[in-house]
A = this chain, B = another copy of it.
């Protein structure tokens, strides 16, 4: 199914307002979800509306979302997402961090007690669009063992960096500290295929290529102990230090098992403090041209910048409409009927 950006945003907004979200908040959430769909990151797109409904009905998500300022002084602030929708708390936190970066050169905001914030790239790209360099990370429900262990303890621990670049491209790194997402293992299981060595270990802590065993076990971190240390650091800063849940106490957004208690961290700084905008733009332009001129390895046709694949996909979706899975579109239509606004 192909839907236009405007229509999908309107649909999502209508559904969210029906759930009990404010119009203003619903707009932020809808834009964030639709951007994820446009970028092909459908796991963080309008599909999440179903999950939000389930959590709201199960009293494990509070609507309308309110965001409280717990602490705000100098270049740092601490916000509380009050168990509302993650995109609302996330965008508020990012805005505060950007404002602080304008005033102090760098700003840091921690957000606690929130829910799934969606794709991190939508935040760091928003900051980059305003000329800022932004770093963001968040903890997540346990799926990775600490290095040397075999019990799920850290989440996928996503982190993202956005850097402003001139021209029709983007610089937006957005990754998990695990080698792959659980979804890839689930897909291999469905297709009856083995998974490559190095993706996961079974429930007894032995490396496995059997997707069924891997699903019962834990995901491997990138670079072994390195990814484990990255995940632990993210969990401590975004979770423990923000006053949120952390480690084993973080709950999945997709299962009704109590409030998720997710935390996120935002660090934004202004590159103009270090060199004039024009110089920075010119240097970045040269950098991109140079890195793309590197001789290609076997099987590659182009050196891509971080996030460039998603950026191109987004531009395509803008032009030709957004591809939505049939089943998901049916679900969306049902939600619209419930909201009293059936699709015309």
When C-beta atoms are compared, the residue in chain B nearest to A300 turns out to be B148
Decide if A303 touches B147 in the complex (CB within 8 Å).
yes
16 additional contacts (CB under 8 A) given A71-B273, A150-B295, A240-B283 = A75-B104, A76-B274, A78-B273, A78-B274, A106-B106, A106-B107, A133-B241, A148-B297, A148-B300, A150-B296, A150-B297, A173-B229, A201-B297, A205-B296, A223-B227, A247-B291
Whether the pair B240, A287 counts as a contact (CB closer than 8 A) is: yes
Bound state CA distance, A104 and B291, in angstroms?
36
- Chain A 238-249, CB-CB to B under 8 Å as 1, else 0, gives 001111001110
Taking the complex as formed, is A315 at the interface, i.e. its CB lies under 8 A from any CB of chain B? no
Closest chain B CB from A176 CB (angstroms): 8
A206 is an interface residue with CB less than 8 A from chain B: yes
User: For residue A1, which residues in chain B have a CB less than 8 angstroms away from its CB?
Assistant: none
Contacting pair B163 A206 (CB below 8 A): no
Q: How far is the CA of A275 from the CA of B263 in the complex (A)?
A: 15
Interface centre among A78, A237, A248 (most CB of B within 10 A): A237
A344 within 8 A of B: no
Q: Give the copy number.
A: 2
Q: Select A241's contact among B227, B246, B274, beta carbons within 8 Å.
A: B274
* Residues 36 to 93 of chain A near chain B (Cβ within 8 Å): 71, 73-76, 78
B274 lies within 8 A of A110 (CB): yes
Chain B residue contacts of A271, Cβ below 8 A: 241
A contact set with B: CB distance below 8 Å: 71, 73-76, 78, 103-108, 110, 133, 145-151, 153, 161, 163, 171, 173, 175, 179, 198, 201, 204-206, 222-223, 225-227, 229-230, 232-233, 236-237, 240-243, 246-248, 267, 269-271, 273-275, 280, 283-284, 287, 290-291, 294-298, 300, 302-306
Q: How far is the CA of A291 from the CA of B229 in the complex (A)?
A: 12
Contacts of A241 in B (CB 8 A): 133, 271, 274-275, 280
Instruction: Verify B233–A161 contact, CB threshold 8 A.
Output: yes
Contact (Cβ within 8 A) A145 B297:
yes
